[in-house]
A and B are shown apart, each in its own frame.
Chain A
Amino acid sequence: MAKEITERKEEFRTTVDGTVVKRVYTADDLNKTRQDTSLPGEYPFTRHIMPAGYRGRLWTMRQYAGFATVEETNRRYKYLYKQGNTGFSVAFHLPTQEGYDSDHPLACGEVGKCGVAIDSLQDMEGLWDGIPLADVSTSMTINATAPILLAMYIAAAEKQGADRSKLRGTVQNDILKEYIARNTYIFGPAPSMRLVTDICSYCAQDMPYWNSISISGYHIREAGATAIQEAAFTIANGIAYVQAMIDRGMEVDSFAPRFSFFFAAYTNVLEEVAKFRALRRIWAKIMKERFGAQNPRSLMLRYHVQPDGFTLTDQQPLNNIVRVTLQALAATMGGCQSLHTNSFDEALALPTEQAVQVALRTQQIIAYESGIADTVDPLGGSYYIEWLTDVIEDGTLQYISKIDEMGGALEAIRRGYIQREIAQSAYNYQKAVDSSEQIIVGLNKFVTEEELAPRILEIDETTEKGQIERLKRLKQERDNKKVSEALNRVRQIAQTDENIMPVLVEAVKVYATVGEISDTLRDVFGEYKEPSIL
């Protein structure tokens, strides 16, 4: 009899759903009934959406940035551009995201703190000073106030002489995950879904190169979801948006090619690669089988990735460079279209320029030195990866059918089902870390006492004062009669079913502010109050 082999642990389990992981995988572990032998670029796109993957074009290196005033953020953008960043990604401060001007009492202490302060078109113009919007691609993390900020972007671009039909970029515009995880909602689900679909219809008509929505699993994962929950709740939200567009009378292939996604990447490289493969397969099948999409572009899951900020440790912060490298490797071996890499100091504060450079270099080293970009889906065909892809697909589909039974994502959110599932996972994870069942290097194992305190970025307290003064000046200098007329038209259109975008573009052009427009919409739509779910 062979000698018994001893192993480190009694059993090994996936973190996606706790399924037992075997010592080794062979051809016998593959699901013979699936018969997915598709190549990259072929339905259901499991291996990649494009036949040549990164051999054709590398992913877009898109660093998310924004802080303090438009002048400081503009400087950071120009720096990133010089360093080889190929797309911009705007972080707005919270007052802009939640529809308050910088002088609102709730904005006190928040101005310019975790994003750039944008109150009016004047700020948006300053943000892009010297950057030709006709030539760049821009992603904006904006949701409840997405129609207003997209209107400002269009207006700023047109002032530069750019044609809106040529603009390239993405607006996040994903309100459902705000109720689930990110919490920058303003209005209730019904008016919010109307605004989301207003943007999607407007872009389908006027902005053919603009991604009208970025359906986001990132924040769901960040809030504590497992990889399967991230996949399932994001796809369920995607289904709700597609259905809402169809309910508006839009034909699926007229808008679905411009739907994009945004996911997280954790440090478990193989699970994350499998997740991305499973997601592509699931979305393609849903779009084809459930919604009857014909255009191949409607079936393709195109996505941006950000390594999960939650995985960064405050302790021994330089270790985060290694974590981000593994997470970025998972994102790229998984086939992402665009990637942000976190800076090692982000568990401490906003990143410094040096930390941002290391983060961007991480992507460049993967792209040009690691060799993973030389062949498409380099891990495809690995027994373990294929098995994991199936496990994640099955788990995701189970959740989706449960949500379907409830009546869809909106109803599942209303009942608090999705929020409770995530809160439970977050708590389980905390307990696993507290009990050292889950090892985090430098946090609950290999702990050191002496710690190097890295230099951190500080936001000058004068930012808030300066921004409030700028706003005050604007309100004195603009034509206030035109502003109140424009706000009245916004109110009128908000009360009808008409698309709100054209009237918003007019309002921002006469320098109506984010707060003024949001208040007008609050009057019509009311505000959402979140149920307390622990």
Chain B
Amino acid sequence: MTVSTGRKIRVMVAKPGLDGHDRGVKVVARGLKDAGMEVIYLGLRLTPEQITEAAIQEDVDAIGLSCLSNAHMTLFPRVAELIREKTNKDIFIIGGGIIPKKDIPKLKEAGIAQIFGPGTPISEISKFIETRLRGGENKDAKS
């Protein structure tokens, strides 16, 4: 899978905060790799600052955040804010975990492109990333 420039799509996945549940983030990382993307798994127990810095350094197209500890409303928007502050590149952010549905509109308002809950097929995530990079907003994505 490549962006229009011909290079492979680069995605960074990471776990902000103290949550250690990493089954989902690892499965998604492998799934996106198998879908032809370059995937960097940054690991767990990271601050939004560390994630932002690494994303800029690695020149990624997208960031995937995973949180199952209920701290997403603090941590996800903070990463989005830092990305806007620190780079002009349009790096978009997606998230997953145990995220109550009522939080999703607020997270989108805060700059998170999409939330993928438990049970999401990996192909849905890879398609979302691909469509978004090829042609702006993904109108078909399930919200």
A interface residues, Cβ below 8 angstroms from B: 94-95, 97-98, 100, 105-110, 113-114, 178, 182-184, 222-224, 310, 312-315, 347-350, 423, 426-427, 430, 433-434, 440, 443, 453, 456, 458-459, 530, 532, 534
**Most chain B beta-carbon neighbours within 10 Å: one of A109, A222, A310:** A109
Tell me the bound Cα distance from A182 to B30 in angstroms.
19
Stretch at the interface among B18-26, B82-90, B106-114: B18-26
Q: Tell me the nearest residue of chain B to A459, going by C-beta.
A: B70
Q: List 24 A-B contacts (CB under 8 A).
A: A94-B17, A94-B69, A106-B47, A109-B17, A109-B73, A109-B74, A109-B75, A110-B74, A113-B70, A114-B19, A114-B70, A183-B21, A183-B22, A183-B44, A222-B21, A222-B23, A224-B27, A427-B30, A433-B121, A434-B122, A434-B123, A534-B26, A534-B29, A534-B41
**Most chain B beta-carbon neighbours within 10 Å: one of A182, A224, A430, A443:** A430
Contact B23 A223 (CB under 8 A): yes
Contact B17 A434 (CB under 8 A): no
Q: Given A94-B69, A347-B98, A440–B18 Cβ distance below 8 Å?
A: no
Contact B118 A347 (CB under 8 A): yes
Within 8 A of A (CB), among B1-57: 17-23, 26-27, 29-31, 33, 41, 43-45, 47
Question: Which residues of A sit under 8 angstroms from B135, Cβ to Cβ?
Answer: none
B interface residues, Cβ below 8 angstroms from A: 17-23, 26-27, 29-31, 33, 41, 43-45, 47, 68-71, 73-75, 98, 100-101, 117-119, 121-123
Q: Tell me the nearest residue of chain B to A114, going by C-beta.
A: B69
Contact A443 B119 (CB under 8 A): yes
Contact B44 A530 (CB under 8 A): yes
Question: Which residues of B sit under 8 angstroms from A184, Cβ to Cβ?
Answer: 18, 20
Tell me the bound Cα distance from A530 to B20 in angstroms.
11
Contact A423 B18 (CB under 8 A): no
Contact A427 B27 (CB under 8 A): yes
Contacts beyond the supplied A110-B18, A184-B20, A427-B30: 18 A-B pairs with Cβ under 8 Å? A94-B19, A94-B69, A95-B18, A105-B47, A109-B71, A109-B75, A110-B19, A113-B69, A113-B70, A113-B71, A183-B45, A222-B23, A312-B118, A348-B100, A430-B122, A433-B121, A532-B41, A534-B30
Contact A440 B119 (CB under 8 A): yes
> How far does the Cβ of A442 sit from chain B's closest Cβ, in whole Å?
9
With beta carbons under 8 angstroms apart, the residue of A94, A106, A314 that contacts B119 is A314
Question: Which residues of A sit under 8 angstroms from B27, Cβ to Cβ?
Answer: 224, 426-427, 430
Number of A-B contacts (CB under 8 A): 100
Q: Tell me the nearest residue of chain B to A348, going by C-beta.
A: B100
Contact B71 A110 (CB under 8 A): yes
Contact B118 A314 (CB under 8 A): yes
Question: Which residues of A sit under 8 angstroms from B44, Cβ to Cβ?
Answer: 183, 530
Q: Tell me the nearest residue of chain B to A224, going by C-beta.
A: B23
Tell me the bound Cα distance from A95 to B31 in angstroms.
31
With beta carbons under 8 angstroms apart, the residue of A94, A434, A532 that contacts B43 is A532
> How far does the Cβ of B54 sit from chain A's closest Cβ, in whole Å?
12
Contact B26 A110 (CB under 8 A): no
> How far does the Cβ of B60 sit from chain A's closest Cβ, in whole Å?
16
> How far does the Cβ of B140 sit from chain A's closest Cβ, in whole Å?
16
Question: Which residues of A sit under 8 angstroms from B22, Cβ to Cβ?
Answer: 183, 223
**Most chain B beta-carbon neighbours within 10 Å: one of A108, A224, A347, A440:** A108
Question: Which residues of B sit under 8 angstroms from A95, Cβ to Cβ?
Answer: 18
Question: Which residues of B sit under 8 angstroms from A97, Cβ to Cβ?
Answer: 18
Query: Which 6 residue pairs of A and B lie closest in terms of their CB atoms, listed nearest first?
Result: A183-B20, A109-B74, A94-B18, A109-B71, A113-B70, A434-B121
> How far does the Cβ of B59 sit from chain A's closest Cβ, in whole Å?
19
Q: Tell me the nearest residue of chain A to B123, going by C-beta.
A: A434
Contact B18 A98 (CB under 8 A): yes
Contact B45 A98 (CB under 8 A): yes
Tell me the bound Cα distance from A182 to B20 in angstroms.
6
Tell me the bound Cα distance from A94 to B118 in angstroms.
21
Contact A456 B100 (CB under 8 A): yes
Contact B118 A313 (CB under 8 A): yes
Question: Which residues of B sit under 8 angstroms from A312, Cβ to Cβ?
Answer: 118
Question: Which residues of A sit under 8 angstroms from B101, Cβ to Cβ?
Answer: 348, 453
Tell me the bound Cα distance from A532 to B19 in angstroms.
16
> How far does the Cβ of A74 sit from chain B's closest Cβ, in whole Å?
20
Tell me the bound Cα distance from A331 to B56 in angstroms.
48
Question: Which residues of B sit under 8 angstroms from A108, Cβ to Cβ?
Answer: 71, 74-75
Tell me the bound Cα distance from A476 to B96 in angstroms.
40
Question: Which residues of A sit under 8 angstroms from B71, Cβ to Cβ?
Answer: 108-110, 113
